[in-house]
Amino acid sequence: MLLLLLLLLLLLLLLLLLLLLLLLLLLLLLLLLLLLLLLLLLPLLLLLLLLLQLLLLLLLLPPLLLLLLLLLPLPLLLLLLLPLLLLLLLLLLLLLLLLLLLLLLLLLLLLLLLLLLLLLQLLLLLLLLLLLLLLLHHHHHHHHHHHHHHHHSQ
Which of 105, 139, 90, 85 is CA-nearest to residue 33? 105
Q: Is residue 142 part of a domain?
A: no
Q: Is residue 143 part of a domain?
A: no
State yes or no: pLDDT of 4 exceeds 80: yes
- Residue 150's CB is within 10 A of a number of other CB atoms, namely 5
* Domains held by the chain: number: 1
- Pair 116, 29: CB distance under 8 Å: yes
Of 35-49, 55-69, 108-122, 132-146, least confident by mean pLDDT is 132-146
Residues 123-136, mean pLDDT to the nearest whole number: 91
Band the pLDDT of 146: cuts 50, 70, 90.
low
Band the pLDDT of 41: cuts 50, 70, 90.
confident
> What is the pLDDT at residue 75?
82
Rg (CA), the chain: 31
Q: Is residue 147 part of a domain?
A: no
Structural domain for 30, as ranges? 2-136
Give the long-range contacts of residues 57-61, CB within 8 A, separation 24 or more: 57/88
> What is the pLDDT at residue 19?
92
Band the pLDDT of 149: cuts 50, 70, 90.
low
Q: Is residue 132 part of a domain?
A: yes
Q: Is residue 148 part of a domain?
A: no
State yes or no: pLDDT of 30 exceeds 70: yes
Residue 8 or residue 143, greater confidence: 8
Distance, in Å, from the CA atom of 10 to the CA atom of 12, rounded to the nearest integer, reads 5
- 3-class DSSP assignment, residue 143: coil
Q: Report yes or no on whether pTM surpasses 0.75.
A: no
- 10 Å CB burial of residue 95 (0-12, 13-18, 19+) is middle
**pLDDT tens, residue by residue, 74-122:** 787 788 788 888 988 998 898 899 889 889 988 998 999 999 999 999 9
Q: Is residue 141 part of a domain?
A: no
Please state, in angstroms and as integers, the Cα–Cα distance from residue 141 to each residue in 11, 135, 145, following that order: 21, 11, 13
Q: Is residue 87 part of a domain?
A: yes
